[in-house]
Amino acid sequence: MTPLEFAVDRPNLAVVLARLGSELADWAACSRHIENAVLPRLTGGGGADVQQFDALTQHLEQMSGFLLRLSAAADDGAGLTTDDIGRLAATISLSRLADRLTGREPASEGTKPGEVELW
């Protein structure tokens, strides 16, 4: 197998992370567009729904940025330490998300539908 075949067949971690980050960034942009276009037109007591939609968009944006930073750090092939992951997650403004991504909080403790995560 040539290196090119290997790269096509089994992309390295940095490439996969970059692809995931780009996908999340696209969905975050879509979510933000819908939020900006649709939610102001809604009437009635939709305050909690607006907060949930905004939380969804913020989580997509934050996870996208984290994956793209992780991809850039993994691209050098040197490996990442727990401290490296912590530094990359430090820019995440949603603290519970940062805690889940770095393992300081179990994934099962994430935000549930109907809950609002304050930062």
Directed axis angle between helix 82-89 and helix 95-102, to 10°? 160
Tens-place pLDDT, residues 57-87: 899 999 999 988 988 888 777 778 888 888 9
Q: How confident is the model at residue 19 (pLDDT cuts 50, 70, 90)?
A: confident
Count: domains in the chain: 1
Q: Which amino acid is at 94?
A: L
CA angle 102, 23, 53 (to 5 degrees): 75
Look at residue 8 and tell me if it is in a domain: no
- Domain carrying residue 57: 13-39+46-106
Q: At residue 16, does pLDDT exceed 50?
A: yes
Q: What is the pLDDT of residue 43?
A: 59
HEC profile for 50-78?
Answer: HHHHHHHHHHHHHHHHHHHHHHHHHCCCC
Averaged pLDDT for residues 104-119: 58
- At 47, the pLDDT band (50, 70, 90 cuts) reads low
Contact 83, 102 (CB under 8 A): no
Q: Residue 3: inside a domain, yes or no?
A: no
Residue with tokens 């996208």: 64
Percent of the residues in the chain that have a pLDDT greater than 70, as a whole number:
73
**Phi-psi group of 97: left, alpha or beta (phi > 0 → left; psi -120 to 50 → alpha; rest → beta):** alpha
User: What does residue 45 show for φ and ψ, rounded to 5 degrees?
Assistant: -80, 60
In-domain check, residue 119: no
Residue 84 lies in a domain: yes
Tell me which residue has tokens 């996969």. Answer: 16
Establish if 74 belongs to a structural domain: yes
